[in-house]
Amino acid sequence: MPKPILVAHTDKAQLQLAGATRIINVAATAVAAQGVAHISLTGGTMGIAVLAGIA
C-alpha cells in the first residue's frame, strides 16, 4: 500500500479542483492499465463539489 501524501490547499475551490483532477488522472491511469476503474467516495459538501468538478 502506498504511503499517504498530505497536500494542503488554500481554499475550498482549490481543494475541489485538485480533488477532481486527481480522481480523473488516477482513474484514467487505472483504465489504461487494467481496463476498468472503481471509485468509492464519501458524501458531504466537499465530496459533492469534487463530483461536480468531475462532471
Whether 46 contacts 52, CB under 8 Å: no
* Claim: this prediction has a pTM higher than 0.85: no
13 vs 29: CA distance, rounded Å: 24
**Structural contact between residues 46 and 15, judged by C-beta atoms closer than 8 angstroms:** yes
φ/ψ region of 38 (left if φ > 0, alpha if ψ in -120 to 50, else beta) reads beta
Q: Read off the pLDDT of residues 7-39 as tens digits, 9 standing for 90 and up.
A: 999 999 999 999 999 999 999 999 999 999 998
Q: How confident is the model at residue 24, as a pLDDT? A: 96
Distance CA 20, CA 14 (A): 10
